[in-house]
């Protein structure tokens, strides 16, 4: 094969899944000539697992991606089948939007955007090596011998890198959905000194809609007033979902066939996701549970395929048929796709900085499942940050990063590059210590100005945002300073909500701070119900009701910010600092955290070690 030099690029993105797309869009929209390489143009933006966007914790990421100028939220809105707010009965910090999406239309939408984005070239070609010299990356080479010179390279290979599909006793080299695997790139990355690990994920069977007895299932409709990702016009729900349940017979079938499960027989070597286990793993780990929920979800308007969320499995096909047919309503289910497990190669994220660039290879970035995460939303968030930083590097500008206190994206990346992960990392609201500050509803307030500064948010959208923020501030100001006069209607409301009649007036905000009293109650008393946009009402209500808690969290942020601001020189020899424990010195020497705050989050670094570092810095670094 003759090798030749192809067109010069600013950024080469390897892999066109959710991470690769956001990386390529960001790079191209920031003015860099970008190529997006994919094994097949027909699966750009593919959803190899569940046909949905968002979910607990993940919905927060999508709102943040959208606020920074990413594409995932907008795409989900466009192809929405159903919108549901999870945890709606709980506090605002843990409410998360989840959208059932049309899988094929999502893919088509993303491919169309990729084909029509200025500065972006979509290329069907397998990248087999990343080329480097003493200064860092120089470009990528494809299986056809083409060398594309590039200033930055972003690896976002998803589950295709060294992919291996496993069903029962059958195992073969493959990417997701029986696509081509990317095998040759693994050896190249290892030769570059990158530490790779082996992870595993899986997907459930897909069955024919006409073979389901829906009368035996619980219907699950979307919200009456669907919420969108970001500030976009509301769309209507198009299809319902359903809920089925496993039973004692299902569990017996699984237990009787555990010896044939690759998960328990030793065939699978990769580590799977703890928070999305296969059905056989759930039956073993939760032996006391009599049943498990199965969400029966449509995969699109123009397909009969239905997704059985909760039935991920790698059991043999005939066993899968038995266990599905044991479930009420699925007795006659016809398989269209068999469930499978997939093992793949990914990097140890401790090798990355908070910009997602490799510490030891200038210009090489990682994003998505290649960084050890799990899920479309986590992938897209990392792709966006990697794309932004690659573009900034090309332009010779300062890198961009987000802190834990200002975003879930910052939390996700900080967790990966500081703590690492020994299993596919999944975002959850519990991972953030600042979750009351990092709500879905204020994602634009927190991040949209940053997206605008980066050039990823249009002038029109930014001006609309400023008007919304002004309206919110005005409404809150009004509620904090205006009073409702004492009247019978006010006393009736108080009595209805469990309070004593007072005959007195009160400040609107003080009334709102009472449990079980809502802003629409106050607006109704004042004859203003319907005057404000519902999202504005929700924001103002949340800010006022939780103002005390929010102030306390802001004080915490300020306190920890002082640690984040204390920079650690990159040339410190930690092994020479007296008083630092050997384990801490070794971890710090290897990871070289940028700040005291980041050092404090490294596993194996104790508060006592941080005290030693603070004294070391205070003494001018001469201990």
Whether residue 264 is predicted with pLDDT greater than 80 in this model: the reply is: no
Q: Which of 502, 522, 550 is the last residue of a domain?
A: 550
Helix axis angle for 58-67 and 376-394, nearest 10°, is 30
Q: Is 173 inside a domain boundary?
A: no
pLDDT at residue number 580: 87
Are residue 482 and residue 520 in the same domain, yes or no?
Answer: yes
Q: pLDDT for 336-370, tens place per residue?
A: 999 999 999 999 999 999 999 999 999 999 999 99
- Do 508 and 572 share a domain, yes or no? no
Q: Flag whether 606 is in a domain.
A: yes
First to last CA, the chain: 58
227-236, 290-299, 334-343, 602-611: segment of lowest average pLDDT? 602-611
Let me know if residue 349 belongs to a domain: no
Q: Quote the percentage of the chain above a pLDDT of 90.
A: 82
Same domain, 503 and 599: no
Among 59-73, 256-270, 523-537, 580-594, the minimum mean pLDDT is found in: 256-270
Residue 444 pLDDT > 80: yes
How far is 151 from 139, CA to CA, in rounded Å?
7
Residue with tokens 């004042």: 526
CATH number of the domain at 587, please: 1.10.150.570
Say which CATH number the domain at 490 has.
Answer: 1.10.10.1800
Looking at the structure, tell me whether residues 327 and 220 fall in a common domain: yes
Average per-residue pLDDT for the chain = 94
In the chain, how long is the greatest CA-to-CA distance? Answer: 90
pLDDT band at 561 (very low <50, low <70, confident <90, very high): confident
Give me the pLDDT at residue 276, please. 74
Three-class DSSP category at 496: helix
Lowest mean pLDDT among 92-106, 255-269, 349-363, 374-388: 255-269
* 481 pLDDT above the threshold of 60: yes
SS (H, E, C) 108-177: HHHHHHHHCCCCEEEEECCEEEEEEECCEEEEEEECCCEEEEEEEEEECCCCCECCEEEECCEEEECCHH
Does the structure show a pLDDT above 60 at 48?
Answer: yes
Residue 256: inside a domain, yes or no?
Answer: yes
Q: What angle do CA 54, 56, 58 make, to 5 degrees?
A: 45
Higher pLDDT, 323 or 503: 323
pLDDT classification of 595: cutoffs 50, 70, 90? confident
Domain of 576, in residue numbers: 566-618
Question: What is the pLDDT at residue 334?
Answer: 98
Residue 372: which region, alpha, beta or left (left: phi > 0; alpha: psi -120 to 50)?
Answer: left
Residues 212 and 334 in one domain: yes
Name the least confident of 283-292, 383-392, 424-433, 558-567: 558-567
Shared domain for 578 and 543, answered yes or no, is no
Domain boundary among 343, 368, 399: 343
Higher pLDDT, 273 or 42: 42
Q: Do 546 and 570 lie in a common domain?
A: no
- Looking at the fold, whether 593 and 524 belong to one and the same domain comes out as no
- Global pTM value: 0.93
Q: 111 or 270, which is more confident? A: 111
pLDDT at 263 over 80: no
Is the model's pLDDT at 4 over the cut of 70?
A: yes
The answer to which of 16-20, 26-30, 576-580 has the lowest mean pLDDT is 576-580
What's phi and psi for 203, nearest 5 deg? -145, 155
What pLDDT shows up at residue 564? Answer: 80
Question: Regarding predicted confidence, which is higher, 407 or 565?
Answer: 407
**Residue 536: which of 444, 400, 607, 426 has the closest Cα?**
444
Region 543-558: mean pLDDT is 91
Domain contains 190: no
Total domains present in the chain: 3
Query: Mean pLDDT across the stretch 94-103?
Result: 96
**What CATH number should be reported for the domain holding residue 227?**
2.40.30.260
Looking at the structure, tell me whether residues 530 and 571 fall in a common domain.
no
**What's the CA gap between 362 and 347, in Å, rounded?**
16
Residue where a domain stops, chosen among 550, 578, 600? 550
CA 407, distance to chain mean position in Å, is: 12
In a domain, 454, yes or no: no
* 216 within domain boundaries: yes
| 588 assigned to some structural domain | yes
Whether 492 and 585 map to the same domain: the answer is no
Assess whether 491 and 595 both reside in one domain. no
| 220 and 335 housed in the same domain | yes
pLDDT interval class at 623 (50, 70, 90): very low
Instruction: Report pLDDT for 621.
Output: 66
Dump pLDDT digits (tens) for 394-423: 999 999 999 999 999 999 999 999 999 989
pLDDT digits (tens, 9 = 90+) for 164-219: 999 999 999 999 999 999 999 999 999 999 999 999 999 999 999 999 999 999 99
């Amino acid at each position: 094969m003759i090798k030749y030099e192809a067109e010069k690029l600013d950024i080469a993105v390897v892999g066109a899944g959710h991470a690769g797309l956001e990386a390529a869009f960001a790079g191209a929209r920031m003015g860099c000539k970008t190529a997006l390489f994919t094994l097949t143009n027909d699966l750009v933006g593919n959803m190899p697992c569940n046909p949905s966007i968002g979910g607990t914790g993940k919905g927060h990421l999508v709102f943040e991606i959208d606020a920074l100028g990413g594409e995932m939220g907008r795409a989900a809105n466009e192809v929405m089948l159903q919108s549901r707010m999870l945890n709606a009965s709980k506090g605002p910090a843990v409410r998360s939007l989840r959208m059932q999406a049309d899988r094929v239309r999502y893919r088509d939408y993303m491919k169309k955007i990729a084909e029509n984005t200025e500065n972006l070239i979509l290329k069907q070609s397998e990248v087999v090596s990343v080329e480097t010299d003493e200064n860092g990356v120089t470009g990528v080479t494809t299986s056809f011998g083409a060398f594309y010179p590039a200033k930055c390279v972003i690896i976002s290979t998803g589950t295709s890198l060294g992919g291996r599909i496993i069903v029962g006793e059958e195992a073969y080299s493959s990417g997701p959905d029986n696509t081509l695997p990317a095998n040759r790139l693994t050896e190249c990355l290892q030769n570059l000194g990158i530490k790779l690990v082996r992870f595993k994920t899986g997907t459930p069977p897909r069955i024919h809609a006409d073979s389901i007895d829906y009368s035996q299932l619980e219907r699950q409709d979307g919200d009456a007033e669907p919420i969108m990702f970001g500030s976009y016009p509301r769309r209507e729900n198009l299809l319902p979902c359903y809920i089925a349940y496993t039973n004692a017979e299902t569990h017996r079938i699984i237990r009787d066939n555990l010896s044939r499960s690759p998960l328990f027989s030793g065939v699978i070597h990769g580590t799977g996701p703890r928070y999305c286990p296969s059905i056989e793993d759930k039956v073993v780990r939760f032996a006391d549970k009599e049943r498990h929920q199965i969400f029966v979800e449509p995969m699109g308007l123009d397909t009969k395929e239905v997704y059985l969320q909760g039935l991920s499995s790698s059991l043999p096909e005939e066993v899968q048929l038995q266990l599905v047919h044991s479930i009420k309503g699925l007795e006659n289910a016809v398989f269209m796709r068999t469930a499978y497990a997939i093992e793949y190669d990914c990097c140890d994220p401790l090798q990355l900085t908070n910009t997602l660039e490799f510490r030891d290879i200038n210009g090489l970035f990682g994003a998505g499942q290649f960084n050890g995460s799990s899920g479309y939303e986590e992938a897209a968030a990392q792709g966006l940050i990697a794309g932004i930083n690659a573009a900034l590097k090309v332009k010779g500008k300062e890198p961009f990063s987000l802190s834990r206190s200002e975003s879930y994206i910052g939390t996700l990346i900080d967790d990966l590059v500081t703590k690492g992960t020994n299993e596919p990392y999944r975002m959850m609201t519990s991972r953030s210590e600042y979750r009351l500050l990092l709500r879905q509803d204020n994602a634009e307030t927190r991040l949209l100005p940053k997206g605008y500064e980066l050039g990823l948010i249009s002038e029109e959208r930014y001006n609309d945002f400023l008007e919304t923020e002004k309206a919110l501030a005005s409404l809150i100001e009004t509620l904090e300073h205006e009073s409702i006069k004492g009247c019978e209607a006010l006393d009736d409301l108080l009595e209805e909500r469990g309070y004593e009649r007072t005959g007195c007036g009160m400040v609107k905000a003080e009334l709102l701070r009472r449990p079980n009293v809502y802003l629409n109650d106050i607006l109704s008393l004042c004859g203003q119900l319907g005057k404000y946009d519902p999202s504005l009402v929700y924001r103002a209500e949340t800010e006022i009701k939780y103002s005390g808690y929010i102030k306390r969290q802001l004080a915490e942020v300020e306190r920890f910010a002082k640690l984040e601001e204390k920079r650690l020189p990159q040339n410190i020899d930690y092994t020479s600092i007296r008083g630092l424990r050997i384990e801490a010195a070794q971890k710090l020497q290897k990871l070289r955290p940028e700040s005291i705050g980041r050092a404090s989050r490294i596993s194996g670094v104790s508060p006592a070690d941080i005290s030693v570092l603070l004294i070391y810095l205070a003494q001018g670094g001469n201990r």
